[in-house]
Amino acid sequence: MPVGGDASRHLSLCVGCGDFALADALVNIALFVPLGLAFALRRARAGRALVWIVLTTVTVETLQYVVVRGRTASVGDVIANTIGGALGLAAPRVLRWVLASAPRVARATSAAAGAIALVVAAALALQAIHPPPSLHWTRHAPVLRRGFEPFTGFVSQVQLGGLPFAEGETRALERRDSVQLRIALRSGRPPERLAEVLQLWTPAGHGWVWIDQRGTNLRTHVTSRADDWRLRGHATWASGSLPAAAGESVSVRIALQRFRYDIEVEHGGAVMKKIVTVSPGDGWRLLVPFERQRQRERWSLTLTALWVGALLFPLGLFAQRHSRKLVVGAGIGAAVYFTAVPFLVGCAALSLAGWLGAAAGYASGAAAATPTVGDWVGRVNAWVGAETP
């Protein structure tokens, strides 16, 4: 959809540019994997299939430039889409090669288990919140970025750990495991675009927490390592939490821990609270661009289930192809891992949706490797050329 109603054309010739360059590239790769698989199912020649893949992505980007205004046509997207299509095209051949040998199946099972542990650990490390040794804060930036407009309200007071915190003052954090912020402000005219309200800075001059407003919605961004890797970070919307008129008193409280942050907005006796926790099933947050918090809430349970299920599917597939004993052992090992991680690192426990997704993904992988569960599995085995164990 067009961004912010902008009707202008945008063309990006830069590869790897943008705040979320890696996230966008990974999503664009995944987007075209099914197209490559479709060509593989049709047993199309690799060269001809790649030509059609390239033509498809070029057509999409051209339409974004010519027809769907407000979006950016990107050469980087064409490259990422082509890589995804090529991966999908090659996947059946690679899978057939792995399943043709018992030793390769055993190694693939170990690799799938290691990949699960690595992906979950990396996702948690990228989403963890690490407070700096000290902070200072400023009001909205004097030089506005593209797509921003001035904040017409006024920040009257900031407290850090319950104590007044003057603008420009550098304050050491006594406790870095739990940072408590309180911002008192006078509301301004609800802006049509983003308006910067306040920013908190590290000693190195990097933004750590900043607060923006659009309409009556408040956005809080907390920096994590995901920002350094150009992935989606912690950006939370408190929709409808701010006054629709200027001049009203507003109190914003933010409590930050390593794998959790709480946001509370109060004005006129109304209080809105947001609690965001990070669990081993939340790796999808690094990739999915939700513009409004209510969209994340609507889809979060489904995406958590799909994410964990996708991680467990290959493990179930390869373990079943190896032996029934390994299916049981690998399943127990995965359950122990997802249970132990929250205790080891202090993150939130895997949600019920995550456990259901894990069970469904693992069982689906095991079922796909079992030719006796139905004709559709037989067709899949025929497609990949796998021999019945």
Rg (the chain; Cα; Å):
24
Contacts 24+ apart (CB under 8 A), 218-223: 218/242, 218/252, 218/263, 218/265, 219/194, 220/254, 220/261, 220/263, 222/129, 222/256, 222/261
Going by the DSSP 8-state scheme, the letter that residue 244 receives in this structure is S
Q: Which residue has the tokens 């069970």?
A: 359
What is the spatial order of strands in the sheet that 270-277 belongs to?
Answer: 163-164, 154-160, 179-186, 249-257, 260-267, 270-277
- Residue 387 scores a pLDDT above 70: no
Distance CA 283, CA 27 (A): 13
284 sits in which H/E element: none
Distance CA 277, CA 246 (A): 32
pTM for the predicted model, two decimal places: 0.88
318-360 pLDDT, tens digit each: 999 999 899 999 999 999 999 999 999 999 999 999 999 999 9
186-221 pLDDT, tens digit each: 999 999 888 999 999 999 989 999 999 999 999 999
Identify the pLDDT of residue 32: 97
Reported as a pLDDT band with limits 50, 70 and 90, residue 176 is confident
60-79 pLDDT, tens digit each: 888 888 877 667 778 889 99
Reported as a pLDDT band with limits 50, 70 and 90, residue 14 is confident
Who contacts 42 (Cβ-Cβ below 8 Å, separation ≥6)? none
Identify the pLDDT of residue 189: 93
Work out the percent of the chain whose per-residue pLDDT is above 90: 70
Average pLDDT over the chain reads: 88
Most confident segment among 83-87, 292-296, 322-326? 83-87
Identify the pLDDT of residue 375: 47
DSSP string, 171-235: EE-S-SSSEEEEEEEE--PPPSSBEEEEEEE-TTS-EEEEEEEETTEEEEEE--HHHHTT---EE
